[in-house]
């Protein structure tokens, strides 16, 4: 039996827009049950998500190796759809890993990353899903480069609103261009954030996570919970709250005990009636087990 597990991802990390991502220990698991006459995908997402070769995971696998023998697969996932936790990226990575394991000629993780980035459009979600931990990546001119930084000794408080926010709608809120000085300011903050993360200066990193200039201010009206969570964290003396991916999920990084206190406070607010998770960081990325 073949089992593939892919972690959820939280992208952008504030100023690291489209280039930084973190793998979280919330898993999508794909199990190959055996060969079949046609592709069959058992999953819990309802009939709106295809159960055959039209499923994103299978389409992705066949895009890498079109001649794969059809399989009966079972999929379970803790990752909510369209919430900013990389659900589409995990499906893409799972599909590529499936093709890589079933094919006679597998490709390297670096090649998988290049392929996944081409399919997803940006490396900030797929890179940590493949490599695990904290990753800074770029796909400038189609050349994907990824650097895995030290895994933060932190937990993630994850608040998932009940309402979906599609990436396309969130993208539409962004301006087509930024003034030169604003772009320089955003870039300098992002550069310093990378330096703080690389040197494991977590206190500085948590402060800089909240100083984005590229996207959060333009998306704030779509995710009113962001300001509430951040303000509640500040009242407890905590920094490190940011919009995960395109939203609407909100992540606060910090020490486990402090985040438990934060969640207890947030749950007292009747407007924050979504789902709460307290997650460690997944340092491994996509995992394959054979039995």
Q: CA-to-CA distance for 138 and 124, rounded, in angstroms? A: 8
Q: Confidence band (pLDDT; 50, 70, 90) for 168?
A: confident
- DSSP state letter for 19: T
Determine if residue 80 is labeled as part of a ligand binding site: yes
Q: Where in the chain is the domain with CATH 3.30.230.10?
A: 2-149+282-290
Determine if residue 291 is labeled as part of a ligand binding site: no
pLDDT score at 76? 97
Determine if residue 98 is labeled as part of a ligand binding site: no
Q: CA-to-CA distance for 145 and 134, rounded, in angstroms? A: 14
Q: Confidence band (pLDDT; 50, 70, 90) for 165?
A: confident
Burial grade of 35 (CB within 10 A; 0-12, 13-18, 19 or more) = exposed
Strands (E), 128-206: 134-138, 145-149, 155-160
**Of 9, 53, 52, 55, which Cα lies nearest the Cα of 28?**
9
Determine if residue 8 is labeled as part of a ligand binding site: no
Determine if residue 175 is labeled as part of a ligand binding site: no
Q: Confidence band (pLDDT; 50, 70, 90) for 104?
A: confident
Q: Where in the chain is the domain with CATH 3.30.70.890?
A: 155-280
Determine if residue 264 is labeled as part of a ligand binding site: no
Residue 1 has pLDDT above 90, yes or no: no
Is CATH 3.30.230.10 the classification given to domain 2-149+282-290?
Answer: yes
Evaluated on CA atoms 243, 245, 251, 252, the torsion sign reads negative
The set of residues, in sequence order, having a beta carbon less than 8 Å from that of 99 and lying 6+ positions away, is 60, 61, 62, 64, 65, 68
Determine if residue 36 is labeled as part of a ligand binding site: no
Is CATH 3.30.70.890 the classification given to domain 155-280?
Answer: yes
Determine if residue 84 is labeled as part of a ligand binding site: yes
Average pLDDT over residues 134-154: 93
Tell me the three state secondary structure of residue 144: coil
pLDDT tens-digit map of 48-79: 899 999 999 999 999 999 999 999 999 999 99
Residue 201 has pLDDT above 90, yes or no: yes
- C-beta neighbour count of 166 within 10 angstroms: 12
Q: Confidence band (pLDDT; 50, 70, 90) for 47?
A: confident
Determine if residue 151 is labeled as part of a ligand binding site: no
Determine if residue 81 is labeled as part of a ligand binding site: yes
Average pLDDT over residues 225-229: 97
Residue 142 has pLDDT above 80, yes or no: no
Determine if residue 186 is labeled as part of a ligand binding site: no
């Amino acid at each position: 039996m073949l089992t593939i597990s892919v972690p959820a991802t939280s992208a952008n990390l504030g100023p690291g827009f489209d280039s930084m991502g973190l793998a979280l220990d919330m898993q999508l698991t794909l199990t190959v049950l055996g060969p079949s006459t046609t592709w069959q995908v058992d999953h819990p997402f309802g009939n709106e998500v295809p159960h055959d070769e039209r499923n994103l995971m299978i389409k992705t696998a066949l895009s890498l190796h079109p001649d794969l023998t059809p399989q009966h697969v079972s999929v379970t996932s803790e990752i909510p759809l369209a919430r900013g936790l990389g659900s589409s990226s995990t499906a893409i990575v799972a599909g590529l890993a499936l093709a890589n394991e079933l094919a006679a000629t597998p490709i390297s993780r670096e090649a998988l990353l290049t392929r996944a980035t081409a399919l997803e459009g940006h490396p900030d979600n797929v890179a940590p899903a493949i490599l695990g931990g904290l990753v800074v990546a770029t796909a400038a001119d189609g050349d994907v480069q990824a650097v895995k930084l030290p895994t933060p000794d932190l937990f993630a408080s994850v608040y998932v609103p009940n309402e979906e926010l599609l990436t396309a709608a969130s993208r539409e809120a962004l301006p087509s261009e930024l003034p030169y000085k604003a772009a320089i300011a955003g870039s300098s903050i992002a550069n310093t954030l990378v330096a703080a993360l690389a040197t494991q200066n977590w206190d500085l990193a948590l402060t800089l996570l909240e100083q984005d200039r590229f996207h959060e201010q333009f998306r704030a009206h779509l995710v009113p919970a962001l300001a509430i969570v951040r303000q509640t964290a500040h009242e407890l003396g905590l920094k490190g709250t940011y919009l995960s991916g395109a939203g609407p999920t909100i992540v606060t990084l910090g020490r486990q005990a402090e985040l438990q206190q934060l969640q207890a406070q947030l749950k007292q607010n009747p407007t924050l009636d979504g789902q709460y998770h307290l997650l460690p960081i997944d340092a491994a990325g996509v995992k394959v087990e054979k039995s």
